[in-house]
Structure 1
């Protein structure tokens, strides 16, 4: 009988981030090497439920992972404590005390714990600045107080000062939050208080980079005026200017030890309660060191180099020196220095190109293990320094020339390989961003679960997913689930809905089989509160896709749930007698007015708006969505009235809000066309109605540029220079009238000048009729705006509303008015 393959779970806060990525990568490699299954669970923003909590709180993702699925658990405690604090994470881990479990990043009593030597790392940085650069006033930016690693690193700072008899000055100790912004703020406070300092050590690289950014803003040179060191050695640290000196954590080695520890516990073997993994200082420009790349000749009197025989004489010391020059924790690369020196001996014995081939093989193997290839430049510098002799020192000129050619070719090979790796990583990120942008663009318009299922089948393979199980909770207690979607080998598997206990995570048969598997699971939730189910997916996609998929799935299920309820209400209401129309109008009015932004605000715009429903409510819509560089403004009007019009307004508002709020939001044309397709399908096919709507969508940026698309009333722009209104027509197509409007929809542009007043309105303004059936008209609207154009925007809005109400005391259509005055930066 074959032995069942063990399964290990990794509990971590998120998939993105340099720390999380390194830990995950190391555990995946170790799980593969040991031939064990791997389940990675992340629930960013989800509190860690404790065994003494309420039933609802105890059914979070982290809690329901049980022995029926996994044999051992690795908890990335240092990432989870950001959510609930140190004590809660410790209690959570202790609740599994009888289970094979180990902690990474936090020491927990009676629980096997693995940590890098955080205190030593900070101590190394401080002592380096004191001993090698003569610093005496070293400021420190600490991490959050609810993070154990941050506390240990702060202790290392104090210990280093004491070791060099430097008095601790609490004015130099600043608090941060492991973010760039908190490092920026800490140094700003330090400078504003006038505290003297000559160096800064930060508890992580993000805060160190924020500190450098603020120092640059204040005209303080790094490292000319102030030296800076970080902790973690994230990817960005190598490419900033100046490059960041930092303590490098061997996270892959830590992750590999975690897998080994849990497997030993599963086998019943004893393991240490606490293991510390060493760290090392990577010296770059920010601490004043950088990398020495020039010629390093031996001092007079050193042993002469005379060929391969001399290399053999110093082989052991060279091998040790080379191994210390590069940080490599992967066991698959053990003995690399010996193999490289052998290749050099073979090269000098007559095998031309052997050293370069050996170096390229080493670089390729190191790349697969995630080793920083630029470190091998120091290997070449070391070999050059130890093996090359100047002619005046008795060196062989021909041999020196040969070695110089080898070193030159080697540096080119290392540089080329480093650039290739970074380019490959950048390409992966860019392709992942494209996948997120285009592969998930249909999720926001999935207004029913059947449409969501077909969208998943079409789009998940484009995101590099081949194996997926998505299940939804059956009840509020979240104790059982029903399978909603199953994919194998990139194709949807048609299976009847299967109900099963939630702690199994996926339907029977999904997490089984003879083949080793590695999957990722996360909650399908909306806003971190409403939890609809769980997703289990394979781990082949780019790390940045998982959190985006989590958010999109939660939003799509929420939208489908809301839409299903709204449609049910519509179908119910439409069967009611005619006398219920007035009640429907009141419901529609609530939908319509509830969706209106309470206090619209966009940087650079003095903004106000109003919506006044008519007796028989139409379908007016407007929305204002702020973004970091400006914002989106939408306005429209559904043809018709009553609850159906309100429902269509809800569709438009929800879809525009989701797509415009996305960091990768498309241009106005793209959103208008996407909304049209969804509205046409929902209104024509599902509601069996023929309503359509005007929709104008504008993207405003802080420099006054406005890009717009769609069909609605003319845009009015009143200039303080001319004191006249310019009428800018919109030339799109009604939403929902045609299945596709891409060919007839274009982006147009206008540019606002300082003080320009922008006025948007619905046809309830211009088509309001008096007792003689005369329309209020666009001319009267322009005249009203021009007469009040220098007044505050609230006054302009109220003047327009008052003029229309005075013209038509009994409104037959909704009135929507939006007034904005542009203020140029500076």
Structure 2
């Protein structure tokens, strides 16, 4: 009897030599299924003590083997799914999920409405959710987690949260990039990005700490709140130079795309890089090495990140304990900063 209760609808369908949906319809006596097939499957179910009600409820609770990956973009941003770092992480997540037998469903926070639990899980689009980015507000993430949905977030792992967060050591990344510029003689280093994001906030703390250790106090006007796009960086650097002249000799950027915009604006004005201004990016996208000059940047191990995120999600699906985890972060020195 014990083995009979473990018989799944999929197994029953296999025994009958039909698809799972055909078996389900046959058990519900759906007239679209040939009578002969219906009787055969019903008899098979009866001989295995597989009740029709159990079949129906199992169909309702059937796992989709799909995981929703949500790009949690903030409102009023031009950052999009074409951002190379986001694409890189999505690609790594896809591989990590496939290796565990799951498919990836890509969505963004604008499409997924406010109630992610209903949109993805209760409607049987997916079994769990992976979120890329905490954004400025975690309201939607918190709401989904509160309703018991399996969820893992790529963000700042130091954040206290009732769900696991996997992310790079943002404080260390901000500190490494800034220290590198200051140790090579920079005196006025801009922090280019939005420090209200949880991740960027930690990077900004690292930027401040590096200054403190060098015996410097960063000028508040050197913290530049901009959207995380190359276009925003390009416009900001152009406008700043028009208004103030070249009043900085280093830039720490919150992404390589932001660095690319800053680099373009400076080169168009014939500013020497790194002789006049040193630039450090963040993420080490493949384009970083191809820029001219090639970009010094902070590399986050996205493959490790994806594997950790998927492992934490599967722990939740299997009712095992979970924890937030930090991913390796390293400084990659190239030609956009002065060499020793």
Confirm or deny a common fold (TM above 0.5). yes
Please state whether the residue corresponding to 1:201 is helix, strand or coil: strand
For residues 7 and 296 of structure 2, the distance between their equivalents in structure 1, rounded to whole angstroms, comes to: 51
Report the Cα offset of residue 86 of structure 1. Answer: 1.4
Cα gap change, 1:48 to 1:122, in 2 (>3 Å)? farther
Map 1:201-240 to 2 at 5 A: 201-240=252-291
Residue equivalent to 1:246: 297
- Contact 1:176/1:207 (CA < 8 Å) preserved in 2? no
Residue of structure 1 aligned with 2:169, choices 117, 133, 139: 117
Residue equivalent to 2:91: 25
Greater C-alpha radius of gyration: 1
Please state whether the residue corresponding to 2:180 is helix, strand or coil: helix
For residues 186 and 195 of structure 2, the distance between their equivalents in structure 1, rounded to whole angstroms, comes to: 26
Larger RCO (CA under 8 A, 6+ residues apart): 2
Residue equivalent to 1:130: 182
Report the Cα offset of residue 92 of structure 1. Answer: 3.5
For residues 203 and 248 of structure 2, the distance between their equivalents in structure 1, rounded to whole angstroms, comes to: 20
Please state whether the residue corresponding to 1:64 is helix, strand or coil: helix
Residue equivalent to 2:319: 268
Please state whether the residue corresponding to 1:16 is helix, strand or coil: coil
Aligned residues: 270
For residues 153 and 7 of structure 2, the distance between their equivalents in structure 1, rounded to whole angstroms, comes to: 30
Residue of structure 2 aligned with 1:11, choices 57, 69, 80: 69
Report the Cα offset of residue 90 of structure 1. Answer: 3.9
Map 1:16-415 to 2 at 5 A: 16-34=82-100, 36-43=101-108, 45-46=110-111, 48-50=113-115, 63-66=118-121, 68=124, 70-78=126-134, 81=135, 85-96=136-147, 98-106=148-156, 107=159, 109-131=161-183, 133-143=184-194, 145=196, 147-191=197-241, 192-194=243-245, 196-272=247-323, 274-289=324-339
Report the Cα offset of residue 104 of structure 1. Answer: 1.2
- Please report the RMSD computed on the Cα atoms of aligned residues, expressed in angstroms: 2.6
Report the Cα offset of residue 187 of structure 1. Answer: 1.9
Residue equivalent to 2:52: none
Cα gap change, 1:75 to 1:205, in 2 (>3 Å)? same
Map 1:491-530 to 2 at 5 A: none
- Contact 1:11/1:62 (CA < 8 Å) preserved in 2? no
- Contact 1:49/1:62 (CA < 8 Å) preserved in 2? no
Report the Cα offset of residue 141 of structure 1. Answer: 0.8
For residues 8 and 92 of structure 1, the distance between their equivalents in structure 2, rounded to whole angstroms, comes to: 21
For residues 320 and 64 of structure 2, the distance between their equivalents in structure 1, rounded to whole angstroms, comes to: 15
Higher strand share: 1
Residue-by-residue CA offset, 1:286-337 (whole Å, 9 max, x unaligned): 01349xxxxxxxxxxxxxxxxxxxxxxxxxxxxxxxxxxxxxxxxxxxxxxx
Report the Cα offset of residue 108 of structure 1. Answer: 5.6
Cα gap change, 1:41 to 1:210, in 2 (>3 Å)? closer
Report the Cα offset of residue 245 of structure 1. Answer: 0.9
Gaps of 5+ in 2: 1-5, 9-61, 72-79
Report the Cα offset of residue 195 of structure 1. Answer: 6.1
Map 1:410-421 to 2 at 5 A: none
Gaps of 5+ in 1: 51-60, 291-826
Report the Cα offset of residue 181 of structure 1. Answer: 1.8
Cα gap change, 1:227 to 1:100, in 2 (>3 Å)? same
For residues 2 and 243 of structure 1, the distance between their equivalents in structure 2, rounded to whole angstroms, comes to: 59
Cα gap change, 1:62 to 1:144, in 2 (>3 Å)? farther
TM-score w.r.t. the length of structure 2 is 0.71
Cα gap change, 1:263 to 1:6, in 2 (>3 Å)? farther
Please state whether the residue corresponding to 2:152 is helix, strand or coil: strand
Please state whether the residue corresponding to 1:232 is helix, strand or coil: coil
Cα gap change, 1:152 to 1:268, in 2 (>3 Å)? same
Residue-by-residue CA offset, 1:86-106 (whole Å, 9 max, x unaligned): 14334334334x232211125
Map 1:634-649 to 2 at 5 A: none
